[in-house]
């Protein structure tokens, strides 16, 4: 059985009693957080205690405003994000006449040139370009940046070969595109050889548990294929990959057995207290986010992008979320969480937790939808 499952289950039950039965996450005024979460945000994001507490409340409110604020913008929507300076959700609009309706929801409105639909069309054109003719290795990823109102193509700093130039020429012809090179390196997945943040093993590969679902847990698809056997941290049999997808996607569902049970907890590894999971609201761009993994434990950063396409050596992976959080080999599949809301499972990136880098995760709600799963919540 799980080495600390009983303790985590007790934590989940005791804290869950503070929330009225049946109250949905959207109805809560403030997120109920692990006691150690704010210190971790202070450490990794450079915030004071008061700033960290305020940031969490503001991000929580902004996440819940997104559906209404974007609906108010209608066809004029250019995108949305959390602005730490304003402490509010910001919605980009191409029609100034929509500003009043957006502000009435509690969000800020700013004017832009391109609609979110147009930017998505440009991003889709790049996906089609890469599908028709494999994107060169020097092209790392591409995503819509709502703050800059453009599609950003990330290219390795010194990649100047003709295939890269040709890809960028065709990308620019498809719509508003900006090329970013500074600090960009070739991404890799974060699986590791033998050497919810907890580790698990498939053959000679170590990865990390993402989130408990009823019947098992979700993790990264590149860790193993459907049918693979899973052993837990103590090498006892844990379960089987009931479904797995990589590349194209990077997600998997492990159906557990052998006496292992699930709890709605993400490990803090002693760096912070274990975090309870209460839902899976999507955090806007600009929101702080933390990650738990079996190699580098607990680290935090910010959400940088949504719906980004990553050009791994094994093939492109779509609809990923980019972050400034570091990670290393073995962290694959681990948990990304904002406050008490599950965000996704660690896929890959570049850099490490000594010098920093960039990491992407597969959003949790898509995984739940694909496999018909229910997140285990407190």
Enzyme catalytic residues: 222, 250, 332
User: Is the dihedral angle over the CA atoms 178, 179, 185, 186 positive or is it negative?
Assistant: positive
Find residue 200's DSSP bridge partners: 207
| Structure token digits, residue 332 | 């694959």
* 116-132 helix and 162-173 helix, angle to the nearest 10 degrees: 140
DSSP letters, 128-171, are HHHHHS---TTEEEEEEETTTTEEEEEE-TT---HHHHHHHHHH
| C-alpha separations of 350 from 186, 328, 330, 375 in Å | 6, 8, 13, 29
Radius of gyration, alpha carbons of the chain: 20
Q: Which residue is listed with tokens 């009225």?
A: 20
Any residues with CB less than 8 A from the CB of 94 and at least 6 apart, and which?
Answer: 76, 77, 78, 111, 112, 113, 114, 115
Q: Is 5 exposed, middle or buried (0-12, 13-18, 19+ CB in 10 A)?
A: middle
Q: How far apart are CA 253 and CA 272, in angstroms?
A: 27
DSSP letters, 39-61, are HHHHHHH---HHHHHHHHHHHHH
Torsion of Cα atoms, 303 then 305 then 307 then 313, to 10°: -100
In this structure, the strands spanning 77-83 and 88-93 are antiparallel
Any residues with CB less than 8 A from the CB of 239 and at least 6 apart, and which?
Answer: 216, 229, 230, 254, 255, 256, 257, 258, 260
């Amino acid at each position: 059985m799980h080495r600390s499952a009983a303790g985590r289950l007790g934590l989940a039950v005791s804290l869950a009693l503070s929330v009225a039965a049946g109250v949905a996450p959207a109805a809560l005024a403030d997120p109920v957080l692990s006691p150690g979460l704010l210190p971790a945000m202070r450490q990794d994001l450079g915030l004071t205690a008061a700033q960290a507490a305020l940031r969490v409340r503001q991000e929580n409110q902004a996440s819940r405003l997104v559906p209404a604020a974007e609906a108010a913008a209608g066809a004029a929507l250019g995108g949305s994000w959390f602005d730490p300076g304003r402490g509010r959700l910001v919605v980009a609009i191409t029609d100034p006449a929509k500003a009043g309706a957006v502000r009435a929801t509690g969000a800020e409105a700013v004017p832009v040139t391109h609609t979110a639909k147009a930017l998505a069309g440009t991003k889709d054109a790049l996906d089609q370009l890469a599908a028709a003719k494999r994107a060169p290795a020097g092209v790392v990823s591409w995503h819509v940046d709502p703050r800059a109102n453009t599609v950003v193509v990330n290219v390795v700093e010194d990649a100047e070969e003709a295939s890269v130039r040709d890809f960028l020429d065709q990308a620019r012809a498809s719509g508003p595109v900006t090329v970013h090179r500074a600090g960009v390196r070739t991404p890799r997945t974060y699986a590791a050889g033998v050497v919810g943040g907890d580790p698990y093993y498939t053959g000679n590969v170590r990865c990390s548990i993402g989130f408990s679902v009823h019947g098992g847990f979700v993790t990264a698809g590149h860790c193993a294929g459907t049918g693979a056997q899973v052993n837990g941290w103590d090498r006892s049999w844990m379960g089987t990959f009931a479904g797995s997808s990589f590349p194209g996607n990077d997600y998997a569902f492990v159906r557990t057995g052998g006496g292992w049970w699930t709890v709605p907890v993400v490990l803090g590894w002693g760096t912070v207290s274990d975090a309870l999971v209460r839902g899976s609201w999507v955090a806007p761009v600009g929101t702080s986010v933390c990650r738990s993994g079996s190699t580098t434990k607990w680290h935090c950063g910010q959400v940088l992008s949504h719906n980004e396409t990553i050009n791994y050596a094994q093939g492109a992976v779509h609809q990923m979320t980019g972050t400034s959080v570091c990670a290393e080999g073995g962290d694959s599949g681990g948990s990304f969480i904002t406050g008490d809301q599950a965000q996704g499972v660690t896929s890959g990136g570049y850099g490490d937790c000594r010098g920093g880098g960039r990491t992407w995760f597969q959003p949790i709600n898509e995984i739940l939808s694909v496999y018909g799963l229910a997140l285990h919540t407190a």
